[in-house]
Structure 1
Amino acid sequence: MKNYSLFIGVDVSKLKLDIVGVDPNNQVLLPHKVLDNKEGDLKLFLTKVIQKFGKDDILVSFENTGVYGMILAHILTKLQIDYCEISALEINRSKGIKRGKSDKSDASIIVQYTIANQFKIKLSSLTEVNISKLKLLYTQREKIVKTIKQFEFNKENEGFIPKPAFKELMKTNTSIVKNLKKNLKLINQQILEIINNNQALKTNYELIQSIPGIGPQTASYLLIVTKGFTVFDNSRQLACYAGVAPFPYQSGSSIRGRNKVSHLADKKLKSLLNMCALNAKRYDYQLKMYFESKVKDGKNKMLILNNIRNKLLHRVFAVIKRQQPYVNIHNFAA
């Protein structure tokens, strides 16, 4: 990473931005300032900062707060200012013991964290438009699927409420579910349309599904979380993100626990990978034999399934790197 002369920490909220700027020695160069989270005010402020310090000497850091930080990210990209979005959990765990909380102090903590970790922090970049669209559509899809399940749970009330009331309830529910499924089908079509209209996304989408056990929902979600396979260097990093990578649990001579996966994970991806692992051990002969042999050895079934999840991610990165579909070598064995 470059040697920056101005580090700017921004605490992002829905309506405003708290900003603090310091030099590498933590001397204040930009006193605490509060701006509206609007393009005009922010662009004017950053333009003045560039005129004074030069854009190549500035690094802006802020918490990853989802949509609230999108205006800031867009303007920083337009002005060609380096920036990094940092996980809120990562910053919170670096605070140490703190009493009280304010937006001003949060901005200071963000910039102090950036200075202390500047040589390991990765610069962020604006998510490609098609990936952003896919993310929004996938989120909407998840909401619809969840709502459909909630309405279908009402069938369990049969026999416990008066028949006329239940009949009326189910009539209404059936109509709602029908419309929801219609919209779900429309969103699935829109997701496919975006993927098919982008050659790189389409190719990777098809390559991922060439792996036994992985279907369209997992393939599209992998495209989203990896931003088209641009933010993870290898399958181990993605496995850590998904919460399926085991880590040692030991200390000194007294603590010798078994390796464990971390609860800090993308739970949606972990759930999808679990379904993929269950399918893969049924339809992929190699993984089926692997699962059965490990069960015979007395291994825990969940441990074996987790190993299969990791194997699937290794296969995903292999086909993406080679840009060749997965080939099951066992099918060609003599």
Structure 2
Amino acid sequence: MKIKETVGIDVGKMKNEVRIHTNQKYKNFDNTVTGITSMIKWTLASSNYAKEQILFAFEHTGIYSQQISVYLTENGFNYVMLPGLEIRRSMGITRGKDDKIDAKKIALYTYRRKDELKPYELPSKNIKEIKSLLNLREKLVKQRSGYKATLCEYKRFLKRKENTTLFSVHEKMINELTKQINKIENNLMDIVDNDENLKKLYKLLTSIKGIGQKTALFMIAYTGGFTRFETWRKFASYCGIAPFPNTSGISIRGKTKVNNLANKKIKSLLDLCAKSSIQWNSEMKLYYERRIADGKSKMGTINIVRNKLLSRMFAVVRRGTPYVDTLAYCA
């Protein structure tokens, strides 16, 4: 059924500011299950449209928006989660900050694009858990790196006998963090092994030379099991490895380059995969050496390899068969 009404929600830690676009009715509710239930009842009572014709919209605010997205999904409502930057740039020149006005602008932006926006589909429970565990692992790895760096400096400038507490506490923290990181990695693999679809995706991705465990899990999590992006080119744009022109009239003739708006974590993983593939994959190594011999830039060539690996990941998933190294069969 065609969308005829939009509802903008400014999601907060404690309160949700809600604005109905067509009649401009406004109210705030607690960000709890009870508050969200009251919000839905108020919206249906205040609007002249059926629930199938109403589109709810709010920013993706992590854990704060998780409860409302789960509720809307379970009760069959249409909704979209929009990037905060997308909404801010649609507002034009603004001054000040007000949650009530933000809800109004979210509703207006969604109404203007109601025919283009696709309702959001919540990823499966296992994919959400994988994403949460990967984020937790990243935090623990950063903390461990901090302790390791500090311990290295202590060893260089301090005597252990005179600073036994400093040394022992840092070493214990590093050991405990390593233990917890290993536990998370084991939990991640248990989730994959107990889900046939995720297990198949994981095996397909790791069949490509240069794609390891960590990259495969991140790809599964951030593509929603390869359902959120229609093509690998769209995902390349999302993770910041797709080149874009940089020209304007006759005054600007810049080089084609990647954009800074990107998922930097995925981009860094693909960069490591590309460098590993150049080192250990004969096909990529020959390709890299040939372009460098032709005078092409190293970073430009590495970016091409990143795109090649990404296209192969999408290809094996779409085809449903592992990657075949055709170079190995050459005479």
Q: For each residue in 1:65-101, what CA deviation from the matched residue of structure 2 results, as whole angstroms up to 9, or x when unmatched?
A: 1111111112211221110011100001111011222
Partner of 1:298: 295
Q: Distance in 1 between matches of 2:119 and 2:50?
A: 18
Distance verdict in 2 for CA 1:252–1:87, change over 3 Å: same
Conserved? CA contact 2:3–2:114, under 8 Å: no
Q: Distance in 1 between matches of 2:146 and 2:71?
A: 41
Q: For each residue in 1:79-128, what CA deviation from the matched residue of structure 2 results, as whole angstroms up to 9, or x when unmatched?
A: 21110011100001111011222001000110111112222222102221
- After the TM superposition, which residues 1-334 of structure 1 pair with which residues of structure 2 at under 5 Å, given as runs? 2-23=1-22, 27-28=23-24, 31-50=25-44, 53-153=49-149, 154-334=151-331
* Identity across the alignment (%): 37
Q: Distance in 2 between matches of 1:159 and 1:74?
A: 51
Amino acid at match of 2:134: Y
Gaps of 5+ in 2: none
Q: CA deviation at 1:143?
A: 1.3
Gaps of 5+ in 1: none
Conserved? CA contact 1:155–1:170, under 8 Å: no
Q: Distance in 1 between matches of 2:164 and 2:116?
A: 62
- Tell me the TM-score normalized by structure 2: 0.96
Q: CA deviation at 1:48?
A: 4.4
Q: For each residue in 1:236-295, what CA deviation from the matched residue of structure 2 results, as whole angstroms up to 9, or x when unmatched?
A: 011111110100000112211111101111111011111100110011111101100111
Q: Distance in 1 between matches of 2:289 and 2:319?
A: 30
Q: Which moved more, 1:116-125 or 1:80-89?
A: 116-125
SS in structure 2 opposite 1:98?
A: coil
Q: For each residue in 1:305-329, what CA deviation from the matched residue of structure 2 results, as whole angstroms up to 9, or x when unmatched?
A: 1110000000000000011000011
Amino acid at match of 2:135: T
Q: Distance in 1 between matches of 2:212 and 2:70?
A: 33
SS in structure 1 opposite 2:90?
A: coil
SS in structure 2 opposite 1:61?
A: strand
Amino acid at match of 2:87: I
Conserved? CA contact 2:274–2:306, under 8 Å: yes
Q: Distance in 1 between matches of 2:127 and 2:235?
A: 17
Distance verdict in 2 for CA 1:93–1:332, change over 3 Å: same
Stretches (4+) displaced over 6 A: none
Q: Distance in 2 between matches of 1:252 and 1:42?
A: 51
Q: CA deviation at 1:129?
A: 0.3
Conserved? CA contact 1:158–1:166, under 8 Å: no
Q: Distance in 2 between matches of 1:6 and 1:262?
A: 34
SS in structure 2 opposite 1:158?
A: helix
Q: Distance in 2 between matches of 1:170 and 1:313?
A: 43
Q: Distance in 2 between matches of 1:104 and 1:171?
A: 52
Conserved? CA contact 2:236–2:242, under 8 Å: yes
Q: Distance in 2 between matches of 1:22 and 1:7?
A: 6
Amino acid at match of 1:295: I
Conserved? CA contact 1:242–1:265, under 8 Å: yes
- Tell me the TM-score normalized by structure 1: 0.95
Distance verdict in 2 for CA 1:161–1:203, change over 3 Å: same
